[in-house]
Amino acid sequence: MKFIKTEIKDRIGYIIINRAEKRNALNYEVVKELKETFHSFSLNDLVKVIVLKADGNIFCAGADLEYLQELQNNTYEENLEDSTHLMELYKMIYTLNKVVIAQINGHALAGGCGLVSVCDFGFSIPEANYGYTESRIGFIPAIVMIFLIRKIGESNARHMLLSGNVIKAHEALDYGLISKIVDSDKELEKEVYDFAQHLIIHNSGTSMELTKQMLNKIQSMDLDQALTYASSMNAKARSSEDCKKGIQAFLDKETIKW
């Protein structure tokens, strides 16, 4: 691939945006390669947890503005196709069958902040800035707001989306946009690795997959629908091989290997 590098290490699948000279900005090809890589890792039994990271000192500056300028000459139908292409990436990450951790080594702005919003966890260096700055160029953060509201609530989302302000990492942590701040880039690598290994060693892959599936669905249900769905998922989980294995190991006082 031209813009994406990959690595598999100790059951962690690393997806690395490799476009540092363009601040890891997104265009059609970058999005295409990200979608292909996430799909590939979702099917790979050697990968249990996925880490999204980037080369250089910027995580992702959002859409490539030169690319956006080119799209202004497109028809509505052509722009809708391109927009749907980006939407599919965000939805894929958000609903993926495996946990995705964002390793944020620098600023995450606009669509790059969107990538952070759809990951399950975000580990950041203190210097990283976050923001949805689309309003400053007459654009709108249309797709990402769906996921942002789910992640940080409407009030915080309104502040970020309507103000267009850039916030510091500690504010992003307070909002719930990211999970943890790590002191340095070197420590960030280790912290993400250790956390991913914690999930890999201690958690059932089936349990994490089903939990993510439920988290994605219940927010659009009313109370009765959600409870009925939760009861069915509870029953389904009881008969899974991972549940049988986990309960037996607990009863036998054995350390389970996931």
CATH number, domain containing residue 210: 1.10.12
- List, in sequence order, every residue forming a beta bridge with 102; answer none if it has no partner: 52, 122
Catalytic residue flag (residue 134): yes
Domain that holds residue 12: 4-200
> Does 168 lie in the same domain as 55?
yes
Residue 242: HSE in the Cβ half-sphere, 13 Å Cα cutoff = 13
> How many residues can be counted in the chain?
258
Number of domains in the chain: 2
Contact 147, 91 (CB under 8 A): no
Kindly state whether residues 112 and 210 are assigned to the same domain: no
Confidence of residue 257 (pLDDT cuts 50, 70, 90): confident
Domain presence at residue 225? yes
Average pLDDT across the chain, whole number? 95
Same domain, 26 and 143: yes
Residue 256 in any domain: the answer is: no
pLDDT tens digits, 107-155 = 999 999 999 999 999 999 999 999 999 999 999 999 999 999 999 999 9
Residue in this structure with the two tokens 């939990």, named with its chain if needed: 211
Active-site option among 134, 187, 191, 241: 134
Q: Which of 200, 220, 235 is the last residue of a domain?
A: 200
Predicted local confidence at residue 66, as pLDDT: 87
Distance of alpha carbon 202 from alpha carbon 164, whole angstroms? 40
Question: What percent of the chain shows pLDDT beyond 70?
Answer: 100
Same domain assignment for residues 129 and 226:
no
Per-residue pLDDT averaged across 174-199, rounded? 96
On the 0-12 / 13-18 / 19+ scale of CB atoms within 10 A, 149 is middle
pLDDT of residue 189: 96
Do residues 78 and 17 both lie within one domain?
Answer: yes
Sheet holding 166-168, edge to edge: 58-60, 107-109, 129-131, 166-168
Give the tens place of pLDDT for each residue, 28-78.
999 999 999 999 999 999 999 999 999 999 999 998 988 888 888 889 999
The structure tokens 């009313």 sit at 222
Evaluate whether residue 105 is within a structural domain. yes
In a domain, 258, yes or no: no
